[in-house]
Structure 1
Amino acid sequence: MSKNSKAVVSFIVGAAVGVAVGYFLNSDAKDDMVSKLRYEADKLKEKFRRKKEQFEDAVENELT
C-alpha cells in the first residue's frame, strides 16, 4: 500500500470516527452512558481504596 492510499484510508477512518463521536455526543444516550461510567468509576475508586487500606494494615501488622 502506498503512502497516498494509506493517507486516504486514514482520513476516511478518521472522518467516520469523528461523525460517530459527534452523533453520540448529540444523542440522548450520552447522558445514560456518562452516568453509568461515573457509577462504575466510583465503584472502582471504592474498591481501590479498600484494597489500599488492607495493604496498609498488612504492612503495619508486619512491621509491628
Structure 2
Amino acid sequence: MNNSSKAVVSFIVGAAVGVAVGYFLNSDKKDELVDKLKYQADKLKDKLKKKKAEYDNALEHELA
C-alpha cells in the first residue's frame, strides 16, 4: 500500500470516527457515553498504576 492510499484510508477512518463522535455528542445518550468513557478511562488508569507499581517493585528487587 503506497503513501497516498494510506492517507486516503486514514482520512476515511478519521472522518467516520468524527461523524460517530459528533452523532453521540448531539444525541440524548451523550451523558451515558461520557460516563462510560470516564469509567473505562478510570479502569485503564488503575491498571496502568498497578503495572507501574509491579514494574517498580521488580526493578527495585533486581537492583537490590
TM-score (norm 1): 0.63
Residue identity matched to 1:39: Y
Q: Which residue of 1 aligns with 2:48?
A: 48
Report 1 or 2 for greater relative contact order, CA contacts < 8 Å, sequence distance ≥ 6: 2
Residue identity matched to 2:48: F
Give per-residue Cα distances to partners, 1:2-58, cap 9 Å, x unaligned: xxxxxxxx9xxx6xx65x71x432221111011000000000000000000000000
Aligned residue pair count: 48
Matched, 1:31 2:27: no
- The secondary structure found in structure 1 opposite 2:27 is coil
- The gaps in structure 2 that reach 5 residues or longer are 1-10
Identity %: 50
Q: Which residue of 1 aligns with 2:62?
A: 62
TM-score (norm 2): 0.63
The alignment's C-alpha RMSD in Å is: 2.2
- The secondary structure found in structure 2 opposite 1:35 is helix
Q: Which runs of 4+ in 1 moved over 3 A?
A: none
Decide which structure has the larger Cα Rg and report it.
1
